[in-house]
């Protein structure tokens, strides 16, 4: 399995969920790692353990500032660009800020990476780019119209990356993440992702509210699969470059099925969690009904081989949340 070693890597959004997990792995593999983050949704506690690491450098700054991006990327071999404002509802409530960060900030990072002549610019794309396309499983070249401002921003990232790789000498890879979950994902706040939010509510014996009847399904993807593919993408040879890949496990689970598994696993720590009632609320604007990835392109061109199914990953995640947030 390809691993990034003895390199200098910039992880933007390194204080966030995915970024901090990438940082941790890269430091273990003897890399010098630069983290650029403005802590808007990321947390200091996610990176506090790396503070004293001699190969770790934190730049507290904003990707909306071009000079900051230039400073952060100087001397780096690879960029793993994760910084963005996630969440469909957040982008519906405040499309202007989502656009500034996810589009202008992205462009700043792309341009500064091109000027710094990095070996590869790997960026977090999103399954939301499939929008209203009805096809299942989702195949990279068949996308529909975006269903939210967030989806627009993530699609614009792909367009810019393609144009840059055509015009300038920069190699890019976009990773369309499908509902990533795992350790360090924020369970709190209005825009928390469904898995950590539900684990947290169940641990407090409060009822999670499912938007809709729970038949919606997602290709929930464990963080370690995402760490693997970021490294494969960074090290991939020319024929795999300048395109986008689905990042998922390739199986979908309904929201109802996911909650049942969470209750089962958490009841092993506290039996009464099994009695917590699940509530159904109205459907949410901008949500797609089903999401399932075809991962054959990533398997073929990047040699991606996801090690964790949803069931394997969720066990690890629940264990981590219980140890960190449980009683």
Give me the active site residues, please: 150
Tokens representing 84?
Answer: 């963005």
Query: Would you give the binding string for ligand NAD spanning residues 145-184, x where CB under 6 A is met?
Result: --------------------------------x-xx----
State the DSSP code for 102. Answer: I
Query: Of 199, 206, 209, which is closest to residue 322 (Cα–Cα)?
Result: 199
In the complex, least distance from residue 229 CB atom to ligand NAD, rounded to whole angstroms: 12
**Closest distance of CB 98 from ligand NAD, Å:** 10
User: Residue 19 Cβ, how far from ligand NAD at the closest point, in Å?
Assistant: 6
* Stretch 39-98 residues interacting with ligand NAD (CB under 6 A): 39-42, 62-64, 82-86
**Residue 125 has what DSSP assignment?**
E
Q: Is 31 in the site for ligand NAD (CB under 6 A)?
A: no
Compute the radius of gyration of the chain from its Cα atoms. Answer: 19
Q: In whole angstroms, how close is the CB of 12 to ligand NAD at the nearest point?
A: 6
Sign of the Cα torsion 256, 86, 183, 43 reads: negative
**Which of 82, 171 has the CB closer to ligand NAD?**
82
Per CB under 6 A, which region of 34-42, 162-170, 205-213, 231-239 contacts ligand NAD?
Answer: 34-42
Q: In what order do the strands lie in the sheet with 78-81?
A: 56-60, 32-37, 8-12, 78-81, 120-126, 172-177, 243-247
Q: How many residues bind ligand NAD (CB under 6 A)?
A: 29
Pairing relationship of beta strands 180-181 and 279-281 according to DSSP bridges: unpaired
Tokens linked to 278: 């699940």
The yes or no reply on residue 35 touching ligand NAD (CB under 6 A) is no
CB of 90 to ligand NAD, least distance (A): 10
Please select the residue that binds ligand NAD; options are 8, 17, 233, 250, rule is CB under 6 A.
Answer: 17
> Looking at beta carbons only, is 38 or 231 nearer to ligand NAD?
38
Which tokens is 298 given? 């990533």
Residues linked to residue 59 through DSSP beta bridges, in sequence order: 36
Contact string 123-142 vs ligand NAD (x = CB under 6 A): -x-x----------------
The pair of structure tokens assigned to 327 is: 């009683």
**H-type alpha helices, 75-148:** 88-93, 95-99, 106-115
Intra-chain end-to-end CA distance of the chain, in Å: 38
In the complex, which residues of this chain contact ligand NAD (CB under 6 A)? 13, 15-19, 36-42, 62-64, 82-86, 101, 105, 124, 126, 177, 179-180, 193
């Amino acid at each position: 399995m390809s691993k990034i070693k003895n390199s200098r890597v910039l992880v933007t959004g390194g204080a966030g969920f995915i970024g901090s997990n990438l940082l941790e792995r890269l430091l273990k593999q003897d890399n010098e790692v630069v983290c650029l983050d403005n802590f808007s949704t990321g947390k200091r506690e996610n990176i506090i353990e790396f503070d004293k690491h001699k190969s770790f450098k934190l730049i507290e700054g904003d990707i909306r500032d071009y000079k900051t991006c230039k400073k952060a990327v100087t001397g780096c071999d690879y960029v793993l660009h994760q910084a963005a404002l996630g969440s469909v509802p957040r982008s519906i409530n405040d499309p202007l800020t989502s656009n500034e960060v996810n589009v202008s900030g992205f462009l700043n990072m792309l341009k500064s990476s091109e000027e710094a002549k990095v070996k590869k610019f790997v960026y977090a794309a999103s399954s939301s780019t499939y929008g209203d396309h009805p096809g299942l499983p989702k195949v990279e070249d068949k996308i529909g119209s975006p269903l939210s401002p967030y989806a627009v921003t993530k699609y614009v990232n792909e367009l810019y990356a393609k144009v840059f790789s055509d015009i300038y000498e920069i190699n890019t890879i976009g990773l369309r993440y499908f509902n990533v979950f795992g350790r360090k994902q924020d369970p709190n706040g209005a825009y928390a992702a469904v898995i950590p939010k539900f684990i947290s509510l169940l641990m407090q014996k409060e009822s999670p509210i499912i938007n809709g009847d729970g038949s919606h399904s997602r290709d929930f993807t464990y963080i370690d699969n995402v760490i693997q593919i970021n490294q494969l993408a960074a090290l991939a040879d020319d024929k795999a470059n300048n395109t986008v890949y689905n990042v998922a496990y390739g199986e979908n689970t309904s929201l109802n099925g996911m909650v049942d598994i969470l209750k089962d696993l958490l009841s092993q720590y506290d039996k009464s969690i099994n009695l917590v009632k699940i509530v159904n609320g109205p459907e949410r604007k901008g949500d797609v009904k089903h999401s399932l990835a075809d991962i054959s392109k990533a398997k073929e061109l990047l040699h991606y081989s996801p090690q964790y199914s949803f069931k394997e990953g969720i066990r690890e995640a629940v264990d981590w949340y219980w140890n960190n947030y449980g009683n």
